Structure 1
C-alpha cells in the first residue's frame, strides 16, 4: 500500500487579488480552502458588487451533484492567484460549518 500525503499549500507565494479583480468572470469556479488548507467548496456565483458582495459557494456533493449552495460575505474570503495562475480563496470557515448554514436560493 502507498501512503497518500497531501501537500500543504504555501499561500505566502500567492498574490492577493485587488478589488477590481473581484468579478464574476475571475471568481466563478474558484476553489475555496478551509483553515487546514482542505478543499471545502467552490464559487458558484456572486450577488452584489463591491464590499457588500455575497459569494455563493457550492459545498459537499460529488462532482457538483448534490452540492449545497450557501452565501458567504466577500470579506470572509481571501481571494488570491497561485503560482500557476489559478484563482482560489482561503477562509476560516470549515466544510462542516458551511454545511450547517441555511441553503442559499436565488430569488
Structure 2
C-alpha cells in the first residue's frame, strides 16, 4: 500500500516537471503595444479612487459634507461632484450634485482657534486641529505622498445643500 502511494507521488512529480519544461509557443499575431504613461507622477495629480470621502468645508471652515462620487463625461473630464450631506454612517445622508469646477481643493489642514474653558486665574488656551507643533501654524502635507487633497471648499452652508434637490443615480 505504501509503495503504491510513493509510486503515485513520484509519478506525479515527474509529470509536473515535464509540464513546466514545455515552453509556450510563440505567436506572431500580437497587437501592437500602446504608449504608456510615465510611472512617476506630477504633484498636481490625484487618484480619483482616493477622492471619495474627502471632507467638504464652506468658507467659514464648517464641515458641510464629504465627496461620495465624481461623475465624468465621455472624454474623461470630471463634471460633477456628488456630496453627501448630513446623516450618520451613511444612513439618512442627502446626496447633492454640484459642479466640479465650483470646488476648490487645498492640501492645508483646517485649523481653527476656539477658547477653551479654563480655571479662574489662567488664560484661555486655544485648540488647533491637525498636528500640534507648538506653534499656531498648521502642518501641511504634500499631495504627492497622499495622492489626494486634504479637503475641498464649496461656498454654501449645510442647510443650503440640504435644501438642494437630492441626486439620484438613474438605472
TM-score of the alignment, normalized to the shorter chain, above 0.5? yes
Equivalent position SS for 1:57: strand
Q: Secondary structure at the match of 2:68?
A: strand
Q: Aligned partners of 1:87 and 1:106: how far apart in 2?
A: 27
Deviation, 1:76, is 1.0
Secondary structure at the counterpart of residue 98 of structure 1: helix
Q: What do you get for the CA RMSD once the two structures are aligned?
A: 1.9
Q: Which structure: greater strand fraction? A: 1
**TM-score, reference length from structure 2:** 0.47
SS at match of 1:35: coil
Query: In structure 1, what is the Cα distance between the partners aligned to 2:50 and 2:150?
Result: 7
1:24-52 CA-partner distances (Å, limit 9, x unpaired): 223111000012101000000111142x5
Which blocks of at least 5 consecutive residues in structure 1 are unaligned?
1-16
- Runs of at least 4 residues off by over 4 Å: none
Match of 2:102 among 76, 83, 86: 76
Residue aligned with 1:103, SS? coil
Task: Classify the secondary structure of the residue corresponding to 1:26.
Answer: helix
1:29 aligns with 2:92: no
The number of residues matched between the two structures is: 88
Provide the TM-score with structure 1 as the length reference: 0.72
- What's the counterpart of residue 168 of structure 2? 105
Displacement of 1:80: 1.8
CA drift of 1:79 comes to 1.3
Higher relative contact order (CA 8 A, sep 6+): 1
